[in-house]
Structure formats: structure tokens, C-alpha cells
Chains A and B, each alone.
Chain A
Amino acid sequence: MLEEILNSIVEMDEEAVEKARKYLDEGGEPQKLLEACRDAMGEIGARFEKGEYFLSELILGGEIFRQIMDFTLPKLKSGAAKKIGKMVLGTVKEDVHNIGKDIFKVFAEASGFEVVDLGVDTPEEKFVEAVKEHKPDIVGMSCLITAGVTSMKKTVDKLKEAGLRDSVKIIIGGGRVDETVKEFTGADAWSDDAAKGVRLCKQLIGLEG
């Protein structure tokens, strides 16, 4: 059954949601279902990196995953879903594109990160406050417009001013980032690919990708 659910998700079959519901109704273990879904998302990400899947598959896969999680997560015993790390994530100031950030978020969550989502058009101060409040391992910034490049630099600078820069790793992502932007902003890593981004995040906190 779990195998079948996993395959349905990977093959973009929305029936997966009903199959998962049935699995739980018949006494299946939420923890195992969660793991199967995570594996499915891992496989979708791998296919995306290989160029076999495209963004529309990431979005549909993410949508199926989200729907299953809606009824699976509340059934998990607290603490059962072990987190590998915490991340504060947002689309940067001036930028209202949310799709890439949301895809990355689903993949980060699926691989075990706890993600605090700050939304879009996120002021620099909001990142700083969120770091103070949530003490994350990683700060993730999504940037789709060139004006956002400066916003990212300013955010990194503000984190420095607040004395918080060394307590976190910073990863930037989204269509407008590359090596030059990483250097310019002073981030630790960059990726314009959600699956690779998650691998990098694991590396940043000392787990192998």
C-alpha cells in the first residue's frame, strides 16, 4: 500500500490523496506514511534535477504532498516527526513572487526541516526579528527580481549589525541568483533549483546532502 502511494505521488496521480486517507483509516501508521511521502518528494526532486520533471510537476507534487500532510500531521504523536533543522524563509523585500519559495518550502519540509515562512515582500528587519525569535539554523531568502538582490545584501548586513550573522547559515535561491549574487550579498550558498537547495541546506548544517 505504502509503495503504491509513493508511486502515485511520484507519477503525479492525485488519487494518491485518497489512497493515503484510506491507508490511515484502515489503521496504517502515520509515521510510515510520512516517510513514504518524503521519499516520494525526494524522488520528484531527483527527477527535476535530472531534467525529467519540470516546475509544473514540482507544483503538482507539492500540492499532493500538502493535501496528504493536512490530515497526516495532526495524527502524528508530537515529537514523532523528527526535525533535522530549523529554517526561517521568505521572499525578499520588494519581491512578491511566492511560487518558487513555496515549492522550496515543501521540499525542505519534506526532507525534515521545520520552516518558519515569513511570506513575500519581507522587510530586512522582519528577517532579523524572526532570527531573534526562532533561532534558526538557516535563513533562506527567495529572490525573483533584480531589485531583490540589494534587499538580500541589506538583510545580510542587518543580521551582521545585530550580531546574528555567525549564528546562522544563509542560503539564497530563486530565478535571479547566481554565484555573482552570492558573493555580492555575502550569503553562504545559492541555488536556483529546489532539490539542490535542500541538499545544500543539509550540507550547511553538517548533514550530508
Chain B
Amino acid sequence: MACCVKELAEKRMARLMAAMNLEEPDRVPLVGVGGDVIPAYSGLTMEEYYFDTEKMVKAIEKFIKDFPCDWPFAALIAGLDGRVFNVAFSEYPDLSINLTFITGPMHKVLGDKYYRYPGMEISVDSSPQFIGGTFMEADEYDKLIADPVKFIAETVLPRACRNLENPRQAMATMMRLGREIDNFNALMGQIVGKMVENGYPAMAVGGAYAPLDLIGDFLRGVENVLLDLRRYPEKVKAATEALVEPITNYALAHKSMGANLAFIPLHLNEYLSPKLYKEFYWPTLKEIIERLVKEGFKVMVFFEGKHDPHLETILELPKGWGIAYFEKTDVVKAKEVLKGHTCVMGGLPMSLIVGGTPEQIDEHVKNLLEKVKPGGGFILAPGVSTAPRETPAENIKALAEAVEKYG
């Protein structure tokens, strides 16, 4: 079996790489679903899944075994986005790279106000929630601009984390956080091990973030930052520029773990008119992507929501820079605009996988692939990769079968 497992992984990897490099693979690669359906499939509560690593690893293994795909990207999500911590630790690359996910145990240690975990603030059966908040006032932009890492580490985090409120507490909390980082690394090692054992490519994925999203999600809150854009445009712009350096630094730190793919999920793209997008959002995001590409990374950007009004801006990036992953943007149209320049990913509405029938899924995949398969450079993926617990198993199976048929 060992030989075949290795071959299978190589085949899947080749498929993904071909698509990424804008070539035509032997068949269209499929990214699998993840999310609440994984613990549910093993009969676990969300609390068990997020706080008991042994159970999590077992559940993931069972799921990726029973529902094959080419890349179980979403199955690797072990916590909630912790980008503000990446930035706070960006001067310490060895630590920074371990904070992309804040796991349940890390949340417990930090006592932060950003997240809510099952069995703590929410019921044992709820999936973890990021709620964010406002941890910086509008009149503090100058401090953020002057020294973003200092301001975030020394002013924002003590406000956002109950257990970092004073230096004494902070010492103890950081020691405990270090322990959880070790646990997290061990967990990731085990998950990757299970992937390899089951014929999946062991792709190490790093990350980066759009500067304006960092301000919206972790510092000012989404609604406030949108009002700030109008009220203090110059300051907001200067703040996004100041964040480029620390974000690039933490993203590049992932080289040390062998990552050559950086994942960037976008949040505020859908909110902004092309004018605001081009003024406040895109320039600094583009700079980060370009710097990563120059350093040998491929970048995978998740354009959440409807990205249609900004599609053309993607063409400003160097050809072959990476993957444009779309949620609600029509991928047929996106591929038309981006073909020969950018690999396009997406195409499966989660509502279809949850609420549709196997026949409808077959039909959808058939029609879609007819249009986007020719010429390659396409990866089929759910628009939102986190599937709810009630997702019918036969639908996930139908998806894989349809790709075998029409891919």
C-alpha cells in the first residue's frame, strides 16, 4: 500500500500544481469541504473537537479517508484567525508563524475578547465564533502609524486579552501560550502525518493579511473602519501602509517551515466601491502579494463575497502569481477575465451541497466544468469551504463522483 499512497499523493500534487501553473491537469482538481461536518461525522461535540487534539486528529483522518478529494484544505483549520497575534510577534519569526490559528486552548490561556469557543462562552455544540470588537480609538491612528508592532503588542493586546492586562499576568500568560504553541505544532504534525498516510500532498501553507482587514477585524471593528475611511482618509491610508512591513515579515517567516504558498482571506473587498478599493485596500495588499511572489511564494487569495467590481485589478499582478479563490463571484466570468494569467478556484455554492440532491450536484458540476475546464488553470472548490454538520454525506460523495466523471 505504501507505494500507492505515495503515488496518489504525487498525482494529486501534480494536478494542483498544473492548475496553479495555468496548465491543463489530467483532471480538474477538487478541494474538499471541511468545517462542522467533520466533528459531526465522528459524533463529536464541537467542544470535544476543538479541545481534545486526539479526537480532532482521529475525526479528520476518518473524514479525509471516507471523502476523498485532491486537497483537504479546509480540514486543516484547527482554530480561528489570529492575525493580530502574527503581527504582534512579527519580530520573532519562530513564534509568529504559530499564531495564525488561535485554538480553543490558546483562547483559554489568553482570555481574549475576540473569540468565543464551545463549552466556554457558547454551548458545547456551537462552532467557534470570531466576534472581533473595537480595541483602538479613532484618535489613536498616529500611534498605529508610528510603530504598528509596538502599538498592537503593548496597547491593543492588553485591552483585547483579559490575561494580558498587566505585566505580571502577561508573563504567566505568555509562558502558557508557549506551551499551547507546542501542542499546536504537535497537532499539525499529526494531521499532516495522517494526510500523508492517506495519499494527500503534504502542502505547507503560510499566510498573510490585507492591512485594512487587520484594522477592521482586530483593531477598530468593521463598521468603524468603514466610517474612518470617510472621516480620516489620510490616517487610514498611512496606517495600511505602516502595516505592510510587519505583515510581510510574518508572511515570509513561513519559509522556515517549508511553506511556499501563502493564504490570504479578504474581508472588506465586497464592501468597497472600486474607488475606495483602489485607494485604501488594494495598493497595500498588492504590495504584499508582489513581495511574496518575488520571494518565491505562490499566493492564494480568497476573495470573499462578490468581487466582480474589482476583478480587473487582479491582472495588475505578475502572471502566474497564484490562485484567485472566489466565493460568490461567477467563476465562469472570472476565468474569462483571468485566463492565462491567474488560476481560478471555486464554483460550488455551499447551499447546493447542503440543500441540493446528488442529481443536482452532478448536473451543476457537469455544466460548470464544460465551461471552465478547457485550457486548465482551474480548481473546483466550494465557495465557502466550511460545511455545516447536517451536510448530507451522499452529497459530498456525489461531488467527488461528478468530478471523476466530468473533470
Binding site for B on A (CB under 8 A): 12, 14, 51, 53-57, 59-60, 63, 94, 96, 99, 145-147, 149-150, 175-178, 180-181, 183-184
Contacts and interface: CB of A to CB of B under 8 A. Distances in A.
Given A59-B226, A147-B389, A180 B352 contact: yes
Main secondary structure of the interface of B (DSSP, over half): mixed
Contacts of A176: 350-351, 384
A56 B271 contact: yes
A107 to B, nearest CB: 16
A54 B388 CA distance: 29
Contacts of A57: 273
Contacts of B222: 99
B interface bracket (residues with beta carbon within 8 Å of A):
35 or more
A56 B354 CA distance: 31
A178 B351 contact: yes
Contacts of A147: 36, 127, 388-389
Given A12-B230, A96-B129, A180 B355 contact: yes
A177 to B, nearest CB: 8
Interface in B378-405: 384, 386-390
B192 to A, nearest CB: 26
29 contacts: A14-B231, A51-B309, A54-B276, A55-B226, A55-B270, A55-B272, A56-B273, A59-B226, A60-B226, A63-B227, A96-B116, A99-B223, A146-B350, A146-B351, A146-B384, A146-B386, A146-B387, A146-B388, A147-B36, A147-B127, A149-B351, A175-B305, A175-B328, A176-B350, A176-B351, A176-B384, A177-B351, A178-B351, A180-B355
Contacts of A63: 227
A34 B116 CA distance: 40
A143 to B, nearest CB: 10
B278 to A, nearest CB: 12
B126 interface: yes
A47 to B, nearest CB: 10
Interface of B: 35-36, 116, 126-127, 129, 131, 222-223, 226-227, 229-231, 270-273, 276, 305, 309, 328, 349-352, 354-356, 384, 386-390
B307 to A, nearest CB: 12
Contacts of B271: 54-56, 59
A149 B355 contact: yes
B387 to A, nearest CB: 7
A200 B328 CA distance: 22
B230 A14 contact: yes
B272 A60 contact: no
A184 B230 contact: no
B305 A59 contact: no
Contacts of B270: 54-55
A149 B354 contact: yes
A175 B354 CA distance: 15
A51 B274 CA distance: 11
A56 B309 contact: no
B233 to A, nearest CB: 12
Contact of A178 (B223, B349, B389): B349
A50 to B, nearest CB: 12
A147 B356 CA distance: 15
Nearest to B226: A56
A204 to B, nearest CB: 22
Nearest to B390: A150
Contacts of A55: 226, 270-272
A94 B127 contact: yes
Nearest to A94: B126
Nearest to A52: B273
Contacts of B226: 55-56, 59-60
A190 to B, nearest CB: 10
> Which has the most chain A C-beta neighbours within 10 Å: B36, B355, B390?
B355
Contacts of A96: 116, 129, 131
Q: Give the 8 A-B residue pairs with the shortest CB-CB distance, closest first.
A: A184-B355, A55-B271, A147-B388, A54-B273, A180-B351, A56-B226, A146-B350, A181-B351
A96 B130 CA distance: 8
Nearest to A181: B351
A102 B318 CA distance: 39
A96 B276 CA distance: 26
A157 B111 CA distance: 37
A183 B389 CA distance: 19
A3 B358 CA distance: 56
Nearest to B385: A146
Given A145-B386, A181-B355, A184-B351, 5 more contacts: A63-B227, A146-B384, A150-B390, A176-B350, A178-B349
> Which has the most chain B C-beta neighbours within 10 Å: A55, A59, A183?
A55
A159 B20 CA distance: 48
Contacts of B231: 14
A97 to B, nearest CB: 9
B361 to A, nearest CB: 11
A94 B390 CA distance: 14
A94 B118 CA distance: 11
Contacts of A178: 349, 351
Nearest to B271: A55
B318 to A, nearest CB: 28
A146 B384 CA distance: 8
A59 B169 CA distance: 39
